[in-house]
Structure 1
Amino acid sequence: MLSNLMLLFISILVSSFIFTTHSYNNKCLRHQEILLLQLKDELIFNSSLSTKLVRWNESGECCKWHGVECDASGYVVSLQLDGEAISGGVGDSSSLFRFKYLQKLNLAYNDFGYTHHIPKGIGNLTYLTHLNLSNAGFVGQVPSEISSLTRLASLDISANSLNLEHPNLEMLVQNLTELRELHLDGVNMSSFHERKSQGHIISSHLPNLTTLSMVGCGLYGPLPQSFWQLHSLSILRLDENDLSAVALHDLVSNFPSLATLTLSDCRLKGCIPSTFANLTKLIHVDLSHNSLTGSLPSTFFEGLSNLFHLNLMANIFSGNIPQSLFALPSLLELDLSYNQFNGTFQLDNFRSLPNLTLLDLSGNSLSVDAGNVNSSSYGGLQLKSLSLASCNLSKFPDFIKHLDLKALNLANNQIAGEIPSWVWGTQLDHLDLSLNLLTDMQKPYHIPACLQAIRLESNQLKGELQLSIPVESQLHYIDVANNLLSGELQLHIPFISDVRYLSLSHNNLNGSIPTFLCNATHPSSLDLSGNILSGSIPPCLLANIFALDLSRNNISGNIPDIFPMDCGLNYLDLNNNTLEGKIPKSLEHCKWLEYMNVGNNMMNDTFPCMRTSTLRVLVLHSNGFHGHVRCHISWPNLQILDISSNHFSGSLESINFSSWMAMELPGDEKLRGGP
């Protein structure tokens, strides 16, 4: 009887515990809620860009606040605060480090401005299993406190401005034996010895890694034998390192589980082994910007049925593109540009790749045949980006009209005649038709609001330019240089404009500079050089300009003396005009000015001694500058000074030439031809 009562009591107790646990599941504890609100008050963030922190308040269950997760007992175990425009407020004593049971912390894609260190208080979070501080703008030494987070399974401190010295890499990871994912992209390993031994350090202490990303970490020399023991790797990113001593065969042989392999800009040489097809789990491959040679093996793509992304651009591959490529139904992106592939290529082949969204064959020795240009059968393709620059095209491939492209590049072909109106599409954001034989634009045409860049440079477009940019346009980049455009400039730019680069150089445009060019709402670059424009410089043009080139025109008058206090001007070229007067005093507001050329004008002034430490090029030749050349300002970056053909007098003793350090030859080098 007693035993039955005991069993009943235990049963009631267990039931009560289960009920209690269930009732409080994800119910935020009051002291955790207070900590969350304290953390929000401490953090400095842009409320207009925040989607999580800005919505934290005392109403509602705090475990359901955006970016917050709790365990069954109501303790906060996950804070996902990535992309919250946080710029400060995380010190060593921050409330953040009082969440003692926190397991996952994500502060990626914030903006600490490269002025904040990773706080040492991070070491208090001993329950952490996932820590992501990538792309957040942290600076300085990686704190040793991270090495005490022995439960970490994933660590990402990539894309900051961080150093690993004290602790070094080995000190950092020797206690992190649970790590499965390690991201160190861009972390500076200052010791040459350590940069050579990184592979050994990682394989010795972290044998069970599944993800390793060390882009731009200074890896050097042959990888140690122990590195090939990381057989569990499924993601390997070693871009921008010197792996010239590494053979691709070793990668193929030792990492059978690879799903992602990126080795861009690693100085790789040699051929791709036919055994590459044995990596049957591959999804993403990037071997671009290397010196890989030979033809692609016919068996290269056999077995890679899961491949989504393939980037082989900027190598030295030659021969034909193998037919086995067209048997990859999952392929989304294919970039074979800037190699030495040759022969005639039938675009019909890609109809067997219905999921393809990006295709780039530019810069080879291919002659691309668009097949039956009257066929609408291409309409089933999902292509969004098509680049066929330097592909020996003589006309616009008609199948393009059946696609809904976002980017189209047909530069450097032999396409003649007018630009058909259907080229503009509805979703196009980048269009490059430069270096062809185009003469006109078919009308009517409609520039889609999402278009960001137009490049029509070096064609034979003639007559007046009558581009009408819609008010809602996102157009950033317009280049119509080196054509036969004439008459007055008739480009219609709305008052609220997003244009940031406009080049109409080397045409035959005349008349005055229109004031609608002042409508840009962002610091912009304007190149009108090599025309026959006349009149004066509109003062409004200088209010919001980054680079200005009005050289080789007939522009007269003075340079307006109205450069704003927050001037962002970097490049100014006014040479070969008929400008008069003086160098404006307000130009000293342009603290970032690097290049100034006012040569071949009619200016009458003394030597301009501007307080601009960034200046690299100063050209004053063939004007009426006069007096002594005196300047006590330090120009440490100055590399070119041309004051010839003026009326300067006196000596040059007052010039502090020793401050022009950028003109010095490095080390003990001597000028060519010297003793």
Structure 2
Amino acid sequence: MKTLFFLSIFCVTCILPAFSQCLDDQKSLLLGLRNSLIFDLSASTRLVHWNHTKDCCNWDGIECDVFGHVISLQLDNEMISGGVENSEYLFNLSYLEKLNLAYNNFHKIQIPKGLSNLANLTHLNLACANFAGQMLVQNLKELKELYLDSVHISAQGKNWCYAISSSLPDLRILSLRYCELSGPIISSLLELPSLSVLQLDGNNLVSAVPDFSANFSRLTTLSLADCSLFGPFPEKIFEIPTLQNLVLSANVLLSGSFPQFLRDGSLSTIALGDTNFSGPLPDFISNLTMLSTLDLSDCNFSGPLPPSIGNLTELTYFDISDNNFTGSIPLFHLSKKLRYVAASRNSLTGSLSSMHFEGLSNLVYICLEQNLLSGNIPSSLFALRSLKLLLLSENEFHGQVQELSNLSSSSLEFLDVRYNHLEGPIPKFFSKLEKLKTLLLSSNKFNGTVQLEMFKIPSLSTLELSHNDLFVQLTDSDSSLPLFPNITQLGLASCKLQRFPNLPRQSRLWNLDLSSNQLTGEIPNWIWEIGNGSFTFLNLSNNLLHGFQKPYKFPSLNSLDLHSNRFHGELPIPPSSSFYVDYSYNYFTSSLPNDIGHFLSNAYFFSVSNNNLTGEIPPSICSANPLDVLDLSANALTGGIPPCLTKKKNLAVLSLGRNNLSGTIPDTFSVNCNLQTLDLNKNVLGGKIPRSLVNCPSLELLNIGNNRIEDTFPCMLMTASLRVLVLRSNKFYGDLQCLEAIQKWLNLQIIDISNNNFSGGISFLSFSKWRGMISANDNKQLTYNNFHLGFIPGYYYQDAVTLYMKGLEMNLTKILTIFTSIDFSKNKFYGEIPYSIGDLKSLYGLNLSHNEFTGSIPASIGNLTQLGFLDLSVNKLTGKIPVELASLTSISVLNLSYNRLFGKIPEGPQFQTFSAASFEGNLGLYGCPVDTSCIKIGSGVSPPGFQNGEVHLKKEIDWDYVSAALGFAVGFGSTVWLTLHCKRWREMFFGKVDQIYLKFFPNC
């Protein structure tokens, strides 16, 4: 009978859930809740369907127990925005065990206190619902799962750790990602014996990972990505027997290495991307037989890849990109389950031709960009029917891409082999890849003639053939059908095109790049009609075009690039929809239209530099509100700078140099201005430097050289962002006594204050503060100073500056972040040269000539191993030339002439290559090369100090180097012979040259 009784109870219990009905009081509470909530009816998928005529236990998002009590309420992603703050309906659902309000928007209201009434809650999810306030968990002792991601809690480690550990003894899952928590994590969390999932990503813990974390005996997931963690990571955590998922990504100061993994470990996910983990990838990683995801991207791992990695039969995602791995790549002996391969930015070498791709039937993604892989790309890659994306750009692949057959069944959709050394003709097999959508072949060495029609692939939407050695041949087909039925982006830059391809029927084309070809004549007017109104990006730069076929009307273009052509006449009015307009390096001769600002109402970038534009800058240009970059330089513009222009807060680059602008620089720079580049070089501007420039904390380049500014040194520029300062050839005066500003120029690379009336000493300068000239060469990659336009990737403005070296004008159109120079020449500085000048380890150019410096040449200059240009001439320096200077092997220009130096010239392989002119006017110097016995007659070799090798050099007479020029011209007449061999005549001659120089150029 007892057995029968229990069986009957069991059956009733089993049957009741199927027939349970919502109790009336529960239904009333739910309907009241629905009516009180503020939510979007059009977006709701559950609340909107609650109907009083149906059993509430069958409503979407509702679950009841066997007695009709509501125990689960799932209202996530219902677009709720209010109505829960003091909801008597919600907080009287006293049987509720699961509550999910995630992914709604409660506008940062405090977490409702009424939640504490729901004492039976075991699952609470308020993630990403835009709540704020402290965690109210004291009365929720039954909680097993707590999700508060993106709740604005803002608590310190000791507070939130204790609040949870003391109140939630049975907690198993704790997710507090992006809650504005701080650290450190304290050991009270160990009082949660059942904790299996701990997710704290995106908090500002700023602490080390505690060793006690290895004591969580049931932990399966530990996720601490982007937490500002630092220090060594405890290896014991890797060895937690239950641990399956370890995510530590985006903690750049977190270091560590792999331990010796135990056999049959439970780890399935290891994500260490963008950390400072280092060391080799150990052979015993193969012990992790359950590993499916391995992300080691952007770390410091090194060494060869272990062959045993092929034993990871469960691996589906493998990313080791941006490390220092070396050797050949054994990746493709991996499991047939492998789906993702990423190993970009390493030093992987070897060939792919021997790799076994055939068996990887699940492989959909391969990324091996920026390595040193070489050889041919094997045909087996293209036989992978599942492959959808292949990235092999920026390697050293060479040879031809092999012809393949029977590829009609290939599933390849995305192929990128840009930036390699692939050569030979374009393979014809591409036309057989019927599912191919994106084909990127640019920046290789493909050559020969290619018919554009061979890429007539039905599914192709993006084709990029640019920057090879191809001659793309166009057909004269008059077919009414489009050449590419689905093409949206077409790149044919540098393809030797001599006429426009026939594209008027391309109804989907929106991006066309025909730059750097041989297009001549006028732009055909049909080009403005392609794309059926969707045509938005056009690049015709670097061609030989001179006009527009009429009639023409610009479509709603977003980007129009016509720079470096032969356009002339009036400036074409840009479409008002455009955000990028570049008309630079043409021959436009008109003035800027008075209403130009109206047509630039959406523009972020506008450049008409290097034309022949005249007239004044129209004030309407200030109405172009989004404008980030305005470049009107190198024209013949006159008048003043509109005061409204410097008021623009968004403007990041203002380049008005090399015009005829007059007046003063408007002192109207707004508070918190965004200016990064201000170039007013070579105008006729007067007055003072605007004091309101102090409102521009992001200023990186200030060039007001070659004007008529009369002011003291700009001590108000106390910004650490300053990289380039050019005050050359103005009327500046006074000393540099403003340490507070100068010591804040931590990133300064180039300073040119030459040809002014500055005076005083510079011994107080602590050059060791200018870290931009100390550690610039520590950068792993050569980069340029430029302003990136945030509205679209790949668009940027590149800063330029004019420097003077070797008596010549040098235009740096690309300012390398490693290029550094100091030019204080042609002023009235006196005193000693600071010894700390030797701290500037990456300094390339140093010019202190034509001043009144005294004392000896600092021996610390010998520490400047990158120095290529040194001019200390025409000063009052005394003593011997430091022997340390002879160790400078990079120096190509040296001028120590006209000082009071004495003693023997140091011997060194570089010093012996300079001409005697480098040491002229120092009566006490002797030794090579001033001694005649050192001169090799008829060598025919120009001394390195006076060779011209720079690009963009503009020759000009520089009388500072008259002596050097004459001394250099060996064998060209008796004047040169006397210069070299007759000391008295030499002194008399150069004395007369200096008198003539001062007579004709009194202000220089």
TM-score, with length taken from structure 1:
0.82
Whether the aligned pair in 1 keeps the contact of 2:100 and 2:124 (CA below 8 Å) is no
Give 2:418's match in structure 1, choosing from 303, 313, 328: 313
- Letter in structure 1 aligned against 2:346: C
The letter of the residue matching 2:233 is: P
2:332 corresponding residue in structure 1: 252
2:549 aligned with 1:485: no
1:614 is aligned, of 718, 721, 740, to 721
Q: How far apart in 2 are the matches of 1:263 and 1:166?
A: 25
Q: 1:468 to 1:321 in 2, by over 3 A?
A: closer
- Letter matched to residue 173 of structure 1: F
Residue 291 of structure 1: how far off its partner (Å): 3.3
Letter in 2 for 1:273: S
**Contact 1:531/1:552 (<8 A) preserved:** yes
Q: Matched residues in 2 for 1:423 and 1:126: separation?
A: 68
**Counterpart in the other structure of 2:641:** 537
**1:558 has 2:664 as partner:** yes
**Paired residue for 2:573, among 425, 446, 467?**
467
Instruction: Give how far 1:548 is off.
Output: 1.1
- Contact 2:281–2:302 under 8 Å retained in 1: no
For residues 547-590 of structure 1, give each alpha carbon's deviation from its aligned partner in whole angstroms, at most 9, with x where no partner exists: 11111001111001111221221111111000000011111222
The separation in 2 between residues aligned to 1:132 and 1:409, in whole angstroms, is 46
Equivalent position amino acid for 1:524 in 2: D
1:59-89, Cα deviation, whole Å (9 max, x unpaired): 7989574538xxxx97547666399995943
Q: For residue 606 of structure 1, report the CA deviation from its aligned partner.
A: 1.8
Using the alignment, how far apart are the partners of 1:188 and 1:21 within structure 2?
Answer: 57
> Secondary structure at 1:507's aligned position in 2?
coil
CA apart distance, 1:512: 1.0
SS at match of 2:347: coil
Matched, 1:219 2:283: no
Task: After superposing the two structures, state which structure 1 stretch, 301-310 or 27-36, moved more.
Answer: 27-36
Whether contact under 8 Å (1:242, 1:267) holds in the other structure is: yes
2:451 to 316, 322, 346: 346
* In 1: Cα distance, 2:72 partner to 2:631 partner: 57
**Quick one: distance in 2 between partners of 1:516 and 1:6?**
90
Residue 381 of structure 1 corresponds to 485
CA distance in structure 1 between the partners assigned to 2:468 and 2:545 by the alignment: 22
- C-alpha displacement of 1:19: 4.7
Residue range with higher mean Cα deviation, 614-623 or 316-325:
316-325
Query: Structure 1 residue 89 and structure 2 residue 153: aligned?
Result: yes
Within the alignment, does 1:240 sit opposite 2:322 as a pair? yes
* 8 Å contact from structure 2 (residues 283, 308) kept in 1: no
Q: Show the counterpart of 1:67.
A: 103
On the 8 A contact 2:687/2:711 being kept in 1, the answer is: yes
Query: Is 1:507 aligned to residue 571 of structure 2?
Result: no
CA distance in 2, matches of 1:562, 1:102: 60
Letter in 2 for 1:383: I
**Do the aligned residues in 1 keep the contact of 2:129 with 2:151 (CA within 8 Å)?**
no
Confirm or deny: 8 A CA contact 1:78 1:104 kept in the other structure.
no
> Counterpart in 1 of 2:738?
631
Q: 1:586 to 1:87 in 2, by over 3 A?
A: farther
Q: Name the aligned partner's letter for residue 772 of structure 2.
A: A
Contact 2:221 2:246 in 1 (8 A): yes
Aligned match of 1:670 in 859, 865, 870?
865
**Counterparts of 1:3 and 1:196 in 2: how far apart (Å)?**
65
Does the 8 Å CA contact 1:174/1:205 hold for their aligned counterparts? no
Distance 1:430 1:96 in 2: 55
In the alignment, the residues of structure 2 paired with residue 277 and residue 517 of structure 1 have an alpha-carbon distance, to the nearest angstrom, of 61
Instruction: Give distance in 2, aligned partners of 1:336 and 1:83.
Output: 46
- Tell me the percent identity: 32
Tell me the CA shift for residue 540 of structure 1: 1.2
- Where in structure 2 are there 5+ consecutive unaligned residues? 23-56, 91-97, 105-119, 132-148, 260-276, 386-409, 774-838, 843-862, 869-884, 887-1004
Quick one: distance in 1 between partners of 2:472 and 2:189? 57
Aligned to 1:262: 342
Paired residues of 1:298 and 1:323 also in contact (CA < 8 A): no
1:341 Cα shift?
Answer: 2.0
| 1:595 CA displacement | 1.3
Mapped contact 2:315–2:335 kept (Cα < 8 A):
yes
Deviations 1:181-235 (A, max 9, x none): 8673675553588845463399367431222222212221112344332222222
Q: Which amino acid aligns with 2:658?
A: R
Whether 1:567 and 2:673 are equivalent positions in the alignment is yes
Equivalent position of 2:751 in the other structure: 641
Structure 2 letter corresponding to 1:16 = L
For 2:739, what is the secondary structure of its paired residue?
A: coil
**C-alpha distance in 1 between matches for 2:196 and 2:184:** 15
Is it true that 1:271 corresponds to 2:351 in the alignment? yes
How far apart, CA to CA, are the structure 2 residues paired with 1:196 and 1:105?
29
Check conservation: 2:605, 2:627, Cα contact below 8 A: no
CA contact (8 A) 1:284 1:307 kept: no
State the SS of the aligned residue for 1:341.
strand
Cα distance, 1:516 vs structure 2: 2.7
Change (3 A) 1:18 1:315: same
RMSD: 4.3
Partner of 1:14: 14
- For 1:367 and 1:111, how far apart are their aligned partners in 2? 57
AA partner of residue 601 (structure 2): S
> For residues 151 and 105 of structure 1, what CA distance do their matches in structure 2 show?
16
- Where does residue 587 of structure 1 map in the other structure? 693
Partner of 2:957: none
Partner Cα separation in structure 1 for residue 660 and residue 672 of structure 2: 29
**For residues 380 and 408 of structure 1, do their structure 2 counterparts lie closer, same or farther at Cα, with a shift above 3 Å needed?**
closer
Query: Are the aligned partners of 2:322 and 2:345 in contact in 1 as well (CA < 8 Å)?
Result: yes
Q: Within 1, Cα distance between the matches of 2:620 and 2:360?
A: 57
Q: Which moved more, 1:295-304 or 1:75-84?
A: 75-84
SS at 1:418 equivalent = strand
Deviations along 1:498-519, whole A, 9 cap, x unmatched?
A: 4222221111111111223223
Task: Provide the aligned length of Structure 1 versus Structure 2.
Answer: 644
Aligned to 1:284: 365
Q: 1:207 to 1:568 in 2, by over 3 A?
A: same
The letter for the 2-side match of 1:212 is L
Match 2:628 to one of 514, 517, 524: 524
Tell me the equivalent position of 2:779: none
**2:632–2:655 contact (8 Å) kept in structure 1:** yes
Do the aligned residues in 2 keep the contact of 1:286 with 1:311 (CA within 8 Å)? no
Q: CA deviation at 1:277?
A: 4.4
The aligned residue for residue 440 of structure 2 is 335
Distance of aligned partners of 1:385 and 1:585 in 2 relative to their CA distance in 1, 3 Å threshold: same
What is the rounded CA distance, in whole Å, between the counterparts of 2:381 and 2:564 in structure 1? 39
Query: Do the aligned residues in 2 keep the contact of 1:118 with 1:139 (CA within 8 Å)?
Result: yes
Q: Distance in 2 between matches of 1:644 and 1:577?
A: 17
Asked if 2 retains the 8 angstrom alpha-carbon contact of 1:395 and 1:415, the reply is yes
What corresponds to 2:961 in structure 1? none
Distance 1:427 1:256, change over 3 A: same
Assess if the C-alpha contact under 8 Å between 2:483 and 2:506 holds in 1. yes
User: Does the CA-based 8 Å contact 1:313-1:339 persist in structure 2?
Assistant: yes
How far apart, in 1, do the equivalents of 2:566 and 2:176 lie?
54
* Contact 1:592 1:614 (8 Å CA) reproduced: yes
By how many angstroms is 1:146 displaced? 7.1
CA contact (8 A) 2:209 2:229 kept: no
Q: In the superposition, relative to structure 1, how do residues 294 and 56 fare at CA in structure 2: closer, same or farther (>3 Å)?
A: farther
Instruction: Look up the equivalent residue of 2:516 and give its one-letter code.
Output: N
The residue aligned with 2:238 is 173
Q: 1:78 to 1:440 in 2, by over 3 A?
A: farther
